[in-house]
Structure 1
Amino acid sequence: MMEVVRARGHPNITAKHRTTMEVTRDPEITRRADCVIGVSADKGLSDVAGWLKSHLLLGLPVRIIIEVEGSSFSLLAFGDERLTFESEREIVIRRSEYVDGRTLAVRATASARDLPRSMVRMLARGAPLLMRIEPLRRTPGLRGWRA
């Protein structure tokens, strides 16, 4: 199973934030929104599938794959029992353990500033963005997590 979020870039995307990464349903952002990597998203956090919410509420990990014009970037993040999935507009991934109504996952291995600059340039030109969120689980007898 996989959750898919579609968004697009915007001329004001800089992706310089060191602790968060965000996609928003809002069609416009200012240059101050340095955590935003996609606008006009087809869903907000409250629209995420129930099976994914259940997975994340157990504190389990997800792989997040961001694709822009044939380039991809992936990161690992974890759920948390405090997640509320309230936001109808934003989806935020955090390096920290801070949780609010916009938070999808915490303890992420990357933030907006870690996106390859070539990908950020494509997003600043308005390129389409695809974010895939894949639940991971422990597999007995194997090391680590797998989809």
Structure 2
Amino acid sequence: MIFTIKAKGHKNVSGTHKTTLEITKDNYLTKTGHCIIGIMANKSMLDFPEEFKEKLRNAKKIVVEIEVDNIKEVVVGEGHKDLILNHPTDIVVRKSSYICPRTLMIKANKGAKDLNRELIKKLKEGKELTFKIIVE
């Protein structure tokens, strides 16, 4: 099952957070948002079908494909039975096991600082990104 979200980069994207990466529906980004790689997302977790949320909660493996101008990053993590998946604006990928309403997946293999620097550069230019969530 696949769920695709579109978002935009912003001049303040730094992509330097060590343990998380995030996209948000917010239309701004301050210089302190080191994990945020995309703003103005066209969907939030509230838009996830209930069937998709259940698959996320039961998933041993969740794949997120992030693509900007034909540069693709793949982030792999896990679901958890306690995922809440109802935040109205933010979607966060975590290397840790911390769970809150913003958490999409835990135990991810990458945070924002691990992403391709060319991809981050494109996001700083305001390019559009595709954030594809894949659960088998």
Normalised-by-shorter TM-score class = over 0.9
- The answer (yes or no) to whether the contact 2:22–2:91 under 8 Å persists in 1 is yes
Give the TM-score normalised by structure 1.
Answer: 0.89
Bigger drift between 87-96 and 38-47 goes to 38-47
Equivalence for 2:121? 121
Query: How high is the TM-score relative to the length of structure 2?
Result: 0.96
Q: CA deviation at 1:59?
A: 4.1
- Aligned-pair identity (%): 31
- Per chain length, whose mean CA-contact separation is higher, i.e. which structure has more relative contact order (CA < 8 Å, sep 6+)? 2
Question: Contact 2:60–2:79 at 8 Å: present in 1 too?
Answer: yes
Distance 1:51 1:133 in 2: 14
Q: Size of the alignment, in residue pairs?
A: 136
SS at match of 1:74: strand
1:75 Cα offset (Å): 1.3
- The equivalent residue for 2:105 is 105
Q: Hey, what's the Cα distance between the residues in 1 that align with 2:98 and 2:59?
A: 14
What's the counterpart of residue 39 of structure 2? 39
Pair 1:57-2:57 in alignment: yes
- CA positional deviation for 1:10: 0.3
Q: What's the secondary structure of 2:122's corresponding residue?
A: helix
Name the structure 2 match of 1:25. 25
Larger CA deviation: 75-84 vs 50-59: 50-59
Report the residue type matching 2:80 in the other structure: D
Query: Does the 8 Å contact 2:18/2:112 carry over to 1?
Result: yes
Give the letter for the 1:12 counterpart. N
Note if contact 1:3-1:49 (Cα within 8 Å) is conserved in structure 2.
no
The answer on whether the counterparts of 2:13 and 2:33 sit within 8 Å (CA) in structure 1 is yes
Question: Is contact 2:59–2:135 with CA below 8 Å preserved after alignment?
Answer: no
SS in 1 for 2:120: helix
- Structure 1 residue 8: Cα displacement: 0.5
Match of 1:11 in 2: 11
Unpaired segments ≥5 residues, structure 1: 137-147
